Structure 1
Amino acid sequence: MRSVYTSLFYASLPLVLARLLWRSRANPGYRERVAERFAFYPGPPRPVDVWIHAVSVGEAEAAFSLVATIRRHAPASILVTTTTPTGSARVRKVLGDTVEHVFLPYDLPDGIGRFLGHFSPRMAIIMETEIWPNLFTACRRRDIPLLVANARLSERSARRYARVRGTLRNLLAGVDIAAQTAADAQRFLAIGADPSAITVTGNLKFDTELDTSVRAGGEAIKRRLFQERPVWLAASTHPGEEKAVLEAFACVRSRQPELLLAIAPRHPERFEEVARLVRAAGHRLARQTEAGEAAPGGFDVFLLDTLGDLMRFYVASDVAFVGGSLVDIGGHNVVEPALAETAIVFGPYTRNFKQICDDLERGEAAVRVHGIEELAAAVDRLAADEAMRGDLRRRALAFVERNRGASELHWRLLAPHLGESFQSH
């Protein structure tokens, strides 16, 4: 099975490269550092103690608390890989030169061999759900312990993986799995994981800390840029959601003319598209790349068209709709607005954060909506009712605090693989 997969991957390389080039039209980062995607690096080998792979921004955010915990316990050298340019930019912004960083090479035997030979990690950590046949096989053959950290598996993915359960059982042999929830653990069991290798650790995203400088920056944005006006942030939006948000905004503004809307599209290649949608809807638009943090004059809608600033804008907002949830994407990180103490709204599609969203809704710590009318009604009610916003914020923050601790549980799984010198710190 793996040989067929590898042959097909090699055969499809022209299409893979063509897709990279196509995506680079909107995001030039996709045509940069292409050599890294085949594991060609300048200079001599750079061995590391721990290698962490985080596909994109969401996985990187979860990895940051793990990196901090590893550093707190041991003086380990760390490599962080990503797949997307946005993930790469986030790693560089948050971790800078404190870690090694490259793109993960394609899952081909020669590239994976060069990658592992160059960095020679003592421990491999794959964030969330990435299962790569050649990578997992190469780690096993080189006796590199492998942990799937913050592991999650949706029902949809579990059904798909179940078709190749025999192959997955072999790939997951000897792999430790730190599952976010008991339901995730059961789904990994169902696709062939070893029961003795699965531990329920909770979600690393609960261990994220809101830096005081981020809070101060958000409060400054609220004062200087938004002039203390009420702000609704639509965060990490996808195609179809911006139009729905703009329609809901028009409804709310007819009753609350002071309300501002800030939109933060999930993918930077869509910034121009979203700007056109805002203008076509007849709104006065301001953009982060043009305004900075000074008031640019009269505007109704603010477009956050930079990377790495979302947390500050959560702090600066009164209500946050978390995107990827009105369309069937599966939702995005709702822990971030909870930490920023912003009232949270999300849509019906939240499988990526199912238990967290369900618990927040059940505990009256967030509002779930179904469609444009409910979205407009929820934002209208929250923007007008400071006491209700305060109740949601307090409950959501308390929920996050109760669920901290996943990073320490992950460390307990990692430490035995790093040797006595690291365990003693």
Structure 2
Amino acid sequence: MCIISFISSKWAMGFWRDSFNLRSQTKAMHPDNSSVQLIYAIYNLALHGATPAIVAYMLYRLLIGHKGWGAVKNWVGDMPKPDGERLGKRIWVHAVSVGEVMAAHALIKKLREMSKELWMLLTTVTDAGQQVARKQILEVNAIGYLPLDYRWAVTRAMHIVNPHVLVLIEGELWPNIIREAKANLARVVLANGRVSDATYRRALSYARPFYKALLSQFDALLMRTEVDAERIVSMGADEKKVLITGDIKLDVPMKSGNELKRMRERLLKEFGMNESNLIWVAGSTHEGEEELLLHVYKKLLVHFPSLRLIIAPRHIERSKEVAELIAKNRFWCVRRSAIIQGSLKPSAISMASATPVYLLDTVGELKDVYAIATVAFVGGSMIPRGGHNVTEPIIYGCPVVFGKHVYNFRPHAVTLQSFGVGFMVESVEELFNVVLQFLSSSTKREEVRRRSLLLIKENSGAATRTAEQILKLLNL
């Protein structure tokens, strides 16, 4: 309980210190802008006010979730310490969750290729992102969780890591972390930058002074698309610091014929399927969407009895709930974890008379599972959640369908639609019709594959361009 006590005492001291010094600190940054001072004050006061809830979550995580002390130590600023003997520059890369971690991985690989002497730290917010990072990203020197955005926590973290560059992936704008990085003389970079509809609306209304102050502290804003670049400039960013480098998530070479064939053969065998099966993969689904998908699946089975559905919930802790829903709809729920653990043999699945619905209750596999999809659906979009990464299926030339609620990924959705590889639907009936269309026509699927190649070619080199700009700031 020593860390919990430490947080409580730090919160009390930090509250009064930050409240006392806040006006002078923000005035020094922006002496003529009282609204910026007020917004920073509100942010820090709200953050301190949330401390009891944060402490309660820590206790839950430790005592009930049995998650261990690792995250808590990082949250209070106890970060991995760079090797004292390493003379290279230090880069701190932050990515919130799985999708951002994958983008960060492509960038980190390029940075490592270009400069072997770099010391790199990767942090995440979510446990899923942490798990994927530790499993797949071997090019960094250390991996941890992002500190809580209290000034005392991030100041402690910055003193330990002492980065030359702080790289924030996509939309991770943490005011105190950014401010302390600049106070520590680090360069601050937004990589693969995106501006969601919600952020854009907020920035153009009551929060514009806050965003302008925040963005003024960046040394480089490396944006995915022209839309993102235009938005961030209108939010107050210095146009001279904004550069369109392309989308790192799309800077992925399509797998070679043999490599893709081997992957498909392995996954089909493990799932107890074969090439005769049409496969619908529904990724990153939320509560309220699985029921709709199962309803559409029942209708599609009338036309395609060998069609198989794979559902990958956005939050793996919902697996039990989704499994019960699958059973309630009179399907046999086949858990991916059971296949991996060996408690369910592929031959038993293929020989069963019951129609299976596969539940992808594992972390970090969705991207590969899209390789066997005939058509894909990306969730968080049929309900107002803002959508998720709609680009992953495109790597395999797979048609991707999503709902109208994609405000967190609007530029991606627009790009996919303009290339004719992504398809927005506004109702369950429309979802059925679009999926039916692609299941029925191999010609249309092949056309999507051709256009996907063009889209990926256009974004080729995004990771390289981003890495070059970061190293340029380090004079490397």
Taking structure 1 as reference, are residues 55 and 42 closer, same or farther at Cα in structure 2, changes over 3 Å only? closer
Corresponding residue number in structure 1 for 2:237: 193
- How is 1:377-388 mapped onto 2 (pairs within 5 angstroms)? 377-388=433-444
Query: Which of 3, 6, 9 does residue 47 from structure 2 map onto?
Result: 9
Q: Which amino acid aligns with 1:136?
A: I
- How is 1:138-149 mapped onto 2 (pairs within 5 angstroms)? 138-149=180-191
- Offset of residue 115 of structure 1: 0.8
2:44 counterpart SS class: helix
Taking structure 1 as reference, are residues 42 and 313 closer, same or farther at Cα in structure 2, changes over 3 Å only? closer
Q: Which has the higher contact order (CA 8 A, sep 6+)?
A: 1
2:346 counterpart SS class: coil
Q: Which amino acid aligns with 1:218?
A: R
Corresponding residue number in structure 2 for 1:123: 165
1:393 counterpart SS class: helix
Corresponding residue number in structure 2 for 1:217: 263
Taking structure 1 as reference, are residues 150 and 278 closer, same or farther at Cα in structure 2, changes over 3 Å only? same
Q: Which of the pair has more CA radius of gyration?
A: 2
Task: Say whether the 8 Å CA contact 2:326–2:357 is kept in structure 1.
Answer: yes
Corresponding residue number in structure 2 for 1:329: 385
Distance 2:182 2:364 in 1: 35
Which shows bigger deviation, 340-349 or 207-216? 207-216
Structure 1 position 168 matched with structure 2 position 211: yes
Distance 1:103 1:12 in 2: 19
Corresponding residue number in structure 2 for 1:403: 459
Query: Which of 422, 435, 438 does residue 366 from structure 1 map onto?
Result: 422
- Cα distance per residue 1:33-68 (max 9 Å; x no partner): 312111125778768611110011121111111111
Task: Say whether the 8 Å CA contact 2:98–2:364 is kept in structure 1.
Answer: no
Task: Say whether the 8 Å CA contact 1:227–1:295 is kept in structure 2.
Answer: no
Corresponding residue number in structure 1 for 2:33: none
- How is 1:70-149 mapped onto 2 (pairs within 5 angstroms)? 70-75=111-116, 76-96=118-138, 98-149=140-191
Distance 2:265 2:464 in 1: 31
Distance 2:72 2:55 in 1: 9
Distance 2:301 2:375 in 1: 14
Structure 2, unmatched stretches of 5+, are 1-37
- Offset of residue 198 of structure 1: 1.2
Corresponding residue number in structure 2 for 1:259: 307
1:101 counterpart SS class: strand
- Offset of residue 196 of structure 1: 1.5
- Offset of residue 97 of structure 1: 6.6
Structure 1, unmatched stretches of 5+, are none
- Offset of residue 168 of structure 1: 2.9
Structure 1 position 67 matched with structure 2 position 115: no
Give aligned pairs, total: 420
CA RMSD in angstroms comes to 2.5
Distance 2:451 2:249 in 1: 17
- Offset of residue 395 of structure 1: 1.4
Distance 2:211 2:57 in 1: 28
1:33 counterpart SS class: helix
What percent identity do the matched residue pairs reach? 30
Task: Say whether the 8 Å CA contact 2:311–2:358 is kept in structure 1.
Answer: yes
- Offset of residue 286 of structure 1: 0.7
Which shows bigger deviation, 100-109 or 48-57? 48-57
Distance 1:52 1:331 in 2: 24
Taking structure 1 as reference, are residues 354 and 27 closer, same or farther at Cα in structure 2, changes over 3 Å only? farther
Corresponding residue number in structure 2 for 1:290: 338
- Offset of residue 31 of structure 1: 7.4
Q: What's the TM-score once normalised by structure 2's chain length?
A: 0.82
Which shows bigger deviation, 39-48 or 241-250? 39-48
- Offset of residue 77 of structure 1: 1.8
Q: What's the TM-score once normalised by structure 1's chain length?
A: 0.91
Task: Say whether the 8 Å CA contact 1:335–1:400 is kept in structure 2.
Answer: no
Query: Which of 284, 288, 297 does residue 249 from structure 1 map onto?
Result: 297
Distance 2:459 2:44 in 1: 41
